């Protein structure tokens, strides 16, 4: 009898990843959903497929470990989920798209604003040298730090603070991801971006249309901005 092995299973096997929990089939289905949405949104994003390394990270990180127990069974649906304190873990497709747009590599040092559950930080940690992530709500910051520790993400450092001002100590950064919507691009974050660096940030008023922006700093410091997609994020607090 011939056994058909789905392409994704082969991709995982060749990447040396293991099927390590009961959620693996659901996680693989989530990755297929992300691939389908990427193809459907190619006109807006300019790409029909996302980076294979990003997709491998999405197939590996156990999203069910980043949501409250009562949400576990929905963890691999392609939608945001509540994580308490009025906040959400982002939709998996958006996490994958933002990571892809940031074009990160294995030697990169990345800043994330809006740790939330820690899931986006974990995805980044699969792909880069170091991740610094900031969260403004104390219990979320503490919980994410503990969770990332338990899961063995030692290359992530998480701290409480207002990410509007960034984390100058470890900058400048190869990439900055902001996972809450700002009314404008925070100037301190532009300052902490390396020449050649990329920032991915949703910008727009709360409850109005926000756009995911890809901001690039050229080697001479010139800033260019591209609108990628309309999105909906929780607001960036703090700043001014
Ligand atoms: N990246 C998260 C999703 C976070 S939702 C994940 O993968 O789960 C956005 C988060 O940004 C919320 O937790 C919110 O509290 C946080 N946030 C809002 N304003 C912030 C600010 N000024 N600095 C740091 N974090 C902020």
pLDDT for res 231: 94
Residue nearest to atom 11 of ligand 1 (CA): 114
Q: Is the peptide bond before 41 cis (omega within 30 degrees of 0)?
A: no
Ligand 1 atom with least separation from CA of 119: 7
Query: Would you tell me how many other CB atoms lie within 10 Å of the CB of residue 161?
Result: 14
Which helix (H) or strand (E) covers residue 42, if one does? helix 42-45
Ligand 1 atom with least separation from CA of 90: 3
180 lines ligand 1 (CB under 6 A): yes
What is the CATH architecture of 4-231? 3-Layer(aba) Sandwich (3.40)
Asked if residue 75 lies in contact with residue 63, where contact means CB atoms within 8 angstroms, the answer is: yes
Q: Which residues of the chain have pLDDT under 50?
A: 1-19
pLDDT for res 170: 98
Active site positions, annotated: 90
Q: Locate the domains of the chain by residue range.
A: 4-231
What's the pTM? 0.92
Interval between CA 58 and ligand 1 midpoint (Å): 20
Out of 180, 181, 188, 232, mutate this one to test ligand 1's pocket (max ligand atoms within 8 Å of CB): namely 180
116 lines ligand 1 (CB under 6 A): yes
pLDDT for res 17: 43
pLDDT for res 20: 63
Report the distance separating Cα 124 and Cα 104, nearest Å. Answer: 8
133 lines ligand 1 (CB under 6 A): no
């Amino acid at each position: 009898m011939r056994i058909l092995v789905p392409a994704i299973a082969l991709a995982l096997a060749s990447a040396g990843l293991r099927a390590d929990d009961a959620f693996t089939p659901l996680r693989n289905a989530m990755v297929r959903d992300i691939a389908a949405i990427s193809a459907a949104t190619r006109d807006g994003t300019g790409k029909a497929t996302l980076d294979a390394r990003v997709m491998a990270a999405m197939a590996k990180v156990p999203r069910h470990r980043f949501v409250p127990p009562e949400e576990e069974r929905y963890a691999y649906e392609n939608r945001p989920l509540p994580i308490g304190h009025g906040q959400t873990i982002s939709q998996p497709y958006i996490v994958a798209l933002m990571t892809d747009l940031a074009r990160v590599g294995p030697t990169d040092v990345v800043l994330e604003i809006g740790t939330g559950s820690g899931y986006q930080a974990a995805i980044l940690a699969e792909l880069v040298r170091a991740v610094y992530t900031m969260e403004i709500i104390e219990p979320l910051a503490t919980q994410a730090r503990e969770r990332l520790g338990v899961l063995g993400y030692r290359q992530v450092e998480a701290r409480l603070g207002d990410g509007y001002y960034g984390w100058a100590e470890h900058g400048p950064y190869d990439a900055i991801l902001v996972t809450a919507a700002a009314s404008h691009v925070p100037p301190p974050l532009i300052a902490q971006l390396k020449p050649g660096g990329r920032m991915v940030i949703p910008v727009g008023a709360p409850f109005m249309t926000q756009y995911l922006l890809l901001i690039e700093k050229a080697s001479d410091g010139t800033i260019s901005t591209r609108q990628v997609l309309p999105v909906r994020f929780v607001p960036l607090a703090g700043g001014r």
